[in-house]
Amino acid sequence: MSNRKIVVALGGNAILSSDPSAGAQQKALEDTARHLVKLVKNGDNLIITHGNGPQVGNLLLQQIAADSKKNPALPLDTLVAMTEGSIGFWLQSAMQNALREKGIEKGVVSVVTQVIVDKDDPAFENLSKPIGPFYTEEEARAESEKTHATFKEDAGRGWRKVVASPKPVDIQEIDAIRTLSDNNQIVIAAGGGGIPVVKDDQGNLHGVEAVIDKDFASQRLAELVDADLFIVLTGVDYVYVNFNKPDQEKLDRVTVPQLEEYIAQDQFAPGSMLPKVQAAIAFVNGRPEGKAVITSLENLGALIESDSGTTIEKG
């Protein structure tokens, strides 16, 4: 039995496919849990993170549709908290059932997680993360006058609200997460990158209108709990260079300097594989013997048996 402490960052396809209903998402997480239990059966201690992009987007649309003086829409930090709670509940329940199927007695707990960001992060001046519905330019201008939000044109598809995407600095609940993990509990934390909060001059926390990249939040969590391994799950078994080209090449074992060279060549798509690779590099660089793996959920069994997937090491 390995007894490694592993942070597993779930990709979006582990929760939501084409059907956004609660039932379909719960079914997807049941399948996800059966794969994750392979790591538990291997003797590993898991801390699981997850995305929430489509879910918080759908919730935002519901809030906008129902917005009124008597029932005002809630702010973005609260929507992140709500989706942390709902997805955490679904995944917690799915993991408990999957463990029971395998005869494994182990607790599972979800932690609504506040991730501290720097109030002076340049991201608050350079709003870049699009959220919510598409508007015409006229609609966006009217909405901006009403709410003082910032809107930008999005790849020819219309105008969308943009918010800050600051870097995670610390995790408020890290002691609780660490204690739970050290006491043999499976922990679900930092969902959707966590709830973005800043500290004021008195040390009090306040939620902010922002979205934290889930891969960077997962990497920071992995650092803070002294994880032995950081696994980033995505839609493919391996990271590739020249992806979807005739000379496509999978990366099996790769060093940080090699990945940095590939980044300089623009090999990885921004907003897709690039943040996963950057988060893996940051984790490996931040640990004395850091190791990260990028692979698919379906490949977890092969990863346990034969180190399948893209393994990133210092070099």
Is the pLDDT confidence value at 143 over 60?
Answer: yes
Is the pLDDT confidence value at 148 over 90?
Answer: no
Say if 216 falls within a structural domain: yes
Least confident of 115-119, 194-198, 258-262, 311-315: 311-315
Mean pLDDT of the 106-131 span: 95
Residue type, 273: M
Is the pLDDT confidence value at 1 over 80?
Answer: no
Residues 216 and 305 reside in one and the same domain: no
Nearest Cα neighbor of 196 from 79, 37, 74 is 79
The whole domain housing 6 covers 1-35+49-128+164-224
State the catalytic residues: 12-13, 129, 214, 276
Residues 204 and 277 reside in one and the same domain: no
Is the pLDDT confidence value at 174 over 70?
Answer: yes
Say if 41 falls within a structural domain: no
> Model pTM?
0.93
Residues 236 and 217 reside in one and the same domain: no
Residues 171 and 259 reside in one and the same domain: no
Residues 218 and 254 reside in one and the same domain: no
Residues 20 and 60 reside in one and the same domain: yes
Say if 136 falls within a structural domain: no
Tokens of 252: 């099996």
Residue 284, domain CATH: 3.40.1160.10
pLDDT tens for 246-300 read: 999 999 999 999 999 999 999 999 888 999 999 999 999 998 887 999 999 999 9
Concatenating the DSSP letter of every residue in the chain gives ----EEEEE--GGGT-SS--SHHHHHHHHHHHHHHHHHHHHTT-EEEEE---HHHHHHHHHHHHHH--SSSPPPPHHHHHHHHHHHHHHHHHHHHHHHHHHTT----EEE---EEEE-TT-GGGTS--EEEEEEE-HHHHHHHHHHH--EEEE-TTS-EEEEEB-PPEEEETTHHHHHHHHHTT-EEE--GGG-EEEEE-TTS-EEE-SB---HHHHHHHHHHHTT-SEEEEEESSSSEEESTTSTT-EEESEEEHHHHHHHHHTT-S-TTTHHHHHHHHHHHHHHSTT--EEEEEGGGHHHHHHH--SEEEE--
**Which range among 36-45, 129-138, 288-297 has the greatest average pLDDT?**
36-45
How many percent of the chain have pLDDT more than 90?
A: 83
